[in-house]
Amino acid sequence: MNRSLAPVEFVSDLPSVRIRFPDGKEATLSSGTSAAEALRDWDGEGAKAALAASWNGVAIDLATPLRSDGALAPLTFEDRVGRDILQHSSAHLVAKGLVENIPEARPTHGPPTEDGFYYDFDVRPLTPSDLDAVRAAMERSIRARESFVRRELTRSEAEKLFATNPHKLRYISEVPEGETVSVYDTGTFTDLCRGPHVPTTEWLAGVHILGFSAITPEDATAPALQRIRGIGFPTRAQLDAYLKMRAEAEARDHRVLGAKLELFTFVDEAPGFPIWLPNGMIVVHELERFVREHLVAAGYSEIRTPLMFAQSVYETSGHWEHYRDDMFLTEVEGRTFGWKPMNCPGSMLIFRSRARSYRELPMRLAEFAPLHRLEASGTLHGLTRVREFVQDDAHIFVTEEQAEPEIRTLLDWIGRAFATFRLEWSCELSTRPAKFLGAPEVWDKAEATLERVLRASGVRYRVSPGEGGFYAPKIDIHIRDSLGRPWQTGTIQLDYQMPLRFGLEYQGPDGQLHTPVVVHRTILGTWERFVGVLLEHVAGRLPPWLAPLQVRAIPVTEKHAPAALGLVEELRAQGLRADAVGTEESLSKRVRNAEVSRMPYIVVLGDKEVAEGSVALRVRGSRESRSLSRPEFLAYVSERVRKRDFDA
């Protein structure tokens, strides 16, 4: 059951309906025309890429009849929502295959995740042969091109249908009285689900089961569940490309690299909370320094706000209504406090703390503070999905006229920042969701501003209808690593709602009070996620300026050790990170150890080097050594680190 997507509701049943499409075109169609038919009328062959649709910001099945005026957009596998829909349909296909082979299996839920999907089952321990049987059943279903057919049931009908499955009955009990319950039929299999789904199993030709494991439910008294993990693609060719990339990515797994390089670790006593080790903190501090240089140049002020706020603050911001389930809560002296999942409420309170003038705008407030989000245990993954994180966050308070130039400046900085890491980037404009704060016309104005800036900047972007935050449309920043994998990092949001809710005002040049607009922005995103992505992007070979240790000096014999130590002192005096190793092991083994640890610069000092005041330098990735005088070597390394060169 996908609990994240709201059911579709129609407020009228007109003889004809007026449909607005993403390019601004409109069409009048007969009431009851399906979303698929409307999209075909609009885009012909192009509509074939749609696996679902967005109707007034809500994801719907292509078979859904349109009975009121509204905005319609296609959802494809390239859209985040479209990708999630296909993953969720893939999970249903797995459940169908398992129940066909083990009829007593009781499916619980099967959500999409960042890395594919999973489905948990109340069933006996699974075996590899069980998975083989599931795969065979899935193949039969795909060849049969079975449809995903939605049905609406009363609560009592649903309870009767799932009478032998206590997990589904629990979900049904959460449905408000009077609301219908939706199920989907796929062949002979029926599952409780809000949807939407792909039209037929033909869309699931690239589904792949990754593995299975036993998991312990949150209720310790409940029996262990069996989790099947997988990933879905529309075609077999896309799956084959993914499997090839995955094999390459396994050698770059940031969790393995993080342990080898002693950057971070995790413990069972704090699931989802990364522990940064000394080497990792060096990387984090260098990233902070990189960002802070921009902050100073761009006129930001740095702040620090509390880690917890009272419930009333989140009620004002809207997080209590829209985000409470993803927050850590605690009781203090009879009051409920929430560990902040975002920094914006604190920045709002700072702006409100005294009278403000238009002369103070733009007011740019940056904050590096730990944030906490109650991510589901099944979605946690190394550094890329955690429960505690720090991001390069800022909130910029502007007049309406200042918003566009401020966002243009941000896009320029994004380009320079990601060029430093040799990361390709693009943008995704996420528009008004089904549930939102404020008036539609204000959202239209904010969305138009963001799209105008994107067009003028010339950056690559696409539009994702209905994917904005509950309080503001946003530009999400997507990067591609060296393996071609997409990652979402930073975001730029143009917010008219939260300043109103907090009662923010400034005195304008006309002497009147006005409400500011707020630009919420992160660039690199969270340190945790960015470090995880970067480690895999460079296969652990961090750029020299980020490397925890930049130079290793290796004396050939014990008599050369003083020269090595002296060189290390010179390097450290110039702000470089260096060490020297002893001579207990062979020279070749010491050099090899330095290479394995991804050392950017290895210098060997023997009789010749000591006599000449030189070093034998081996740059990471090269098998050859070259001789440099000590001053030349110091200048070479210092310059490359200072310029933040990507390569050693």
Amino acid at the residue 14: L
Chain CA centroid to CA 307, Å:
22
Does residue 474 contact residue 492 with C-beta atoms inside 8 Å?
Answer: yes
SS3 451: helix
Among 392, 460, 471, residue whose Cα is nearest residue 428:
460
In DSSP terms, which residues pair with 477 in a beta bridge? Answer: 427
Omega of the bond leading into 199 within 30 degrees of 0 (cis): no
Furthest-apart CA atoms within the chain: distance in Å: 95
CA angle 201, 206, 209 (to 5 degrees): 100
| In 368-423, beta strands by DSSP E | 371-372, 388-389, 391-398
- Cβ-based neighbours of 588, under 8 Å, separated by 6 or more: none
SS3 344: helix
Among 641, 633, 638, residue whose Cα is nearest residue 545:
641
Buried b (16+ CB within 10 A) or exposed e, 22-51: beeeeeebeeebbbbbbbbebbeeebeebb
Does residue 581 contact residue 590 with C-beta atoms inside 8 Å?
Answer: yes
Query: Residue 558 and residue 584: Cα distance in Å, rounded?
Result: 9
**β-strand pairing of 391-398 with 517-526:** antiparallel
- Cβ-based neighbours of 646, under 8 Å, separated by 6 or more: 420, 421, 422, 543
| In 465-550, beta strands by DSSP E | 474-480, 486-495, 506-507, 513-514, 517-526
Pair of tokens at residue 406: 């401020």
SS3 462: strand
Q: Say which residue the tokens 């509950």 belong to.
A: 470
Catalytic (active-site) positions = 344, 373, 391, 393, 395, 474, 520
Pair of tokens at residue 412: 């320029």
Pair of tokens at residue 495: 């917010």
Q: Please state at what angle helix 278-298 crosses helix 400-420, rounded to 10 degrees.
A: 140
Pair of tokens at residue 102: 């083990």
SS3 220: coil
Pair of tokens at residue 24: 């601004």
From the CB of residue 631, how many other CB atoms can be counted at a distance below 10 Å?
11
Among 347, 201, 284, residue whose Cα is nearest residue 528:
284
Q: Say which residue the tokens 């075609």 belong to.
A: 235
Does residue 483 contact residue 249 with C-beta atoms inside 8 Å?
Answer: yes
Does residue 278 contact residue 391 with C-beta atoms inside 8 Å?
Answer: no
Counting every residue written for the chain, the total comes to 648
Query: Residue 371 and residue 446: Cα distance in Å, rounded?
Result: 27
